[in-house]
Structure 1
Amino acid sequence: MSDPNPGTVARRGNGSRYLFLFLLGLVVGAVAIVMALRAWDARKDHFPESLMHVQGWHVRQLAKAVEQNRCAATDTLPHFKALRTTADDLERAFPGLADDQRFTQAASNLRGTLDAALASPPLNCEGVARLNKDIGAGCKACHQDFR
């Protein structure tokens, strides 16, 4: 069997080339978008979110201590200290709210609650639970107005 027209070249379609270039463009575009989003996220100030995460973690640790019936001052005092230390940074973490009277009052009330906890730590789980509820109320007061 021979080709009746030996001078003609068999033509293949370009569809596979176009598909390859399309897929390559999708991959390069996805990589470029991810890089752009990460660069944009890197410019963002993560301090306020980090502060809230750290404080939330310590509040959850206090709740866990109550659940596990581990409410001695040696178990809870480190969390109260950390909460008090981070409460000092609330105005710096949210500079746009530092002039708002409600915000500064909520932050001051939270610090007052934590100062009382450090001055006279609760000695049983009921006291820790009550104090954790007061801390949560201080957080909630701010979050209701500004979140």
Structure 2
Amino acid sequence: MAGTGARYFFLFLVGLVIGAVASVMGMRALQARQDPFPDALMHVQQWHLGQLKTNLEANRCNATDTLPHFAALRSTADDIEAAFPENRDDARFTKAAGGLRAALDDARANPPLNCPSLGKTMETIGGACKACHQDFRG
């Protein structure tokens, strides 16, 4: 009787391992079908905003410290509609993306020269991001 129980337990463990392996393989297959571009774009923009915040906290608010991040943010903002083609025809989405580009154009044309003005510029950019995220972030 103990031998039968041990066999059933062994088969249960084998089934559990095979199920776990099959689940991981299935999840990897689904993940491989997803386009990484939208998430990558948002991660890059978030990183540059984080660098600006770090500069602000470290009192490094000169134009030479902020302009490279504004330029990178502006460059990646051109790809927002391409990254989210399902929202490309939505007027709210294009308005929010245009608002972000306008805020970044203004930040590059009139770079903040001190920390209080960098804080205000970051609030404007953050507001432009929030306008889109409120309606479209999943």
| TM bucket normalised to smaller | over 0.9
1:128 and 2:118 correspond: yes
Look up the match of 1:57.
47
Q: SS at the partner of 2:60?
A: coil
Counterparts of 1:96 and 1:30, CA distance in 2? 34
Counterparts of 1:135 and 1:55, CA distance in 2? 11
Q: For 1:47-79, what per-residue CA distance to the aligned partner results, in whole angstroms no more than 9, with x for missing partners?
A: 112211211121121111111101111211111
Amino acid across the alignment from 2:26: A
Q: For 1:96-123, what per-residue CA distance to the aligned partner results, in whole angstroms no more than 9, with x for missing partners?
A: 1111111111111111111111122111
Counterparts of 1:38 and 1:141, CA distance in 2? 33
Q: 2:84 aligns with which of 72, 85, 94?
A: 94
Unaligned 5+ residue runs, structure 1? 1-10
Counterparts of 2:50 and 2:119, CA distance in 1? 11
Unaligned 5+ residue runs, structure 2? none
Q: 1:32 aligns with which of 22, 25, 43?
A: 22
Task: Give the structure with the higher percent helix.
Answer: 2
Q: How does 1:1-147 map to 2 (within 5 A)?
A: 13-147=3-137
State the TM-score, normalizing by the size of structure 1: 0.88
| Closer, same or farther: CA 99–14 of 1 in aligned 2, 3 Å | same
| Closer, same or farther: CA 12–125 of 1 in aligned 2, 3 Å | closer
Counterparts of 1:65 and 1:44, CA distance in 2? 34
Larger Rg: 1
* Aligned pairs, number: 137
Look up the match of 1:4.
none
State the TM-score, normalizing by the size of structure 2: 0.93
